[in-house]
Amino acid sequence: MAGFNVNELPQRAKKIASEIGKKMPVKPCIGLILGSGWGGIAAALKSAVSIPYSELPEMPACGVAGHAGNFVFGSAENKQVAVVQGRFHLYEGHSEASAVLPVRVLYELGVRTVILTNAAGGINPNYSVGDLMILNDHINFTCRNPLIGLKPTAEFPDRFVDMTAVYDRTVQNIIREECGKLNIPAHFGTYLQVLGPSYETPAEIRAFRALGADAVGMSTVIEAIYARYLNMKVAGVSNITNMGAGLVAGGLAHADVLRESHRREPLLARLMLQIIARTE
């Protein structure tokens, strides 16, 4: 597994944040981590400046089709926003430490509210492709945890993080209301993270439904755990790009998932601007 020790995260992230600071003065208050289909917001920011990961020390290489590797800084609704464009997925062989490095960089830049976005397969039979799911809880089905091996620090002495209310209720309601204004069907639901990269079998989708999951994807939960450890305010939204395996006729193809996710990019960018306007 490529990566570094979780205890190196603060130091690495501080170096990256300081390098970003040398390139441009940034003081973001909101951070966005963009999944497939959510990229439109980066282009919608005012005075946006993009810094490729490759120009920053300590950043792992990022390389999945459809996932650029950049930090983008800009403003929206008079708020400074930091955007993470390009995740380090566990299915690429990245460690949990790499997967949460962008979250820690956001933290070191001063971000205290993070909105995690993704593309996901719908499991709840009431969902349709094109709906959004606002995360109100999650199931960590990766059997990995970014806090394993973490030594208590003066800043963060507690690794036994309370996960009773991971996703901020106020932000959840804001997202729901803004979806309503744009006529985007939205549900509150439970997201289950798998490791991937293979998609699920129909039996796994049935099993996840029995466990209480409403949607399944390959990111987000690991980041949410780490963000809560940092005591950040967390929200999450899934773009339902397909129904889970076996729920509809035919198989799943990554290209179809990507195509569906990009179809609504402009609409999701508008939604995100409206969410930013109301989120502290």
C-alpha span between 168 and 40 (Å, rounded)? 24
Q: Take residue 260 and report the two structure tokens written for it.
A: 């569906």
Interface map 193-212 toward ligand HPA (x if CB under 6 A): ------xx------------
Nearer of residues 85 and 274 to ligand HPA, judged by Cβ: 85
223 is a contact residue toward ligand HPA (CB under 6 A): no
**Residue number closest to ligand HPA, CB atom:** 121
Q: Does 84 engage in binding with ligand HPA (CB under 6 A)?
A: no
- Give the chain's largest Cα–Cα span: 54
Residue 218 interacting with ligand HPA (CB under 6 A): yes
Least Cβ distance, residue 137 to ligand HPA (angstroms) = 18
Query: What would the x/- binding string for ligand HPA be over residues 109 to 138, using CB under 6 A?
Result: ----------xxx-----------------
How far, in Å, CA of 38 to CA of 262, rounded?
8
Tell which one of 39, 69, 74, 217 touches ligand HPA (CB under 6 A): 217
Q: Where are the alpha helices (DSSP H) in 109-183?
A: 169-181
Query: Are 93 and 2 in contact, with CB atoms under 8 Å apart?
Result: yes
Candidate residues 242, 269, 271, 276; the one interacting with ligand HPA per rule CB under 6 A:
242
Residue pair 73/24 in contact (Cβ under 8 Å)? The answer is yes
In the 8-state DSSP scheme, what is residue 219? S
Q: Does 216 bind ligand HPA (CB under 6 A)?
A: yes
CB of 254 to ligand HPA, least distance (A): 8
- Contact status, residue 56 vs residue 19, Cβ threshold 8 Å: yes
Q: Residue-wise over 222-234: b if at least 16 C-beta within 10 A, else e?
A: bbbbbbbbbebbb
Residue 37 or 74: the one with the smaller Cβ distance to ligand HPA is 37
Please report, as ranges, the residues that interact with ligand HPA according to CB under 6 A. Answer: 119-121, 199-200, 216-218, 241-242, 244, 252, 257
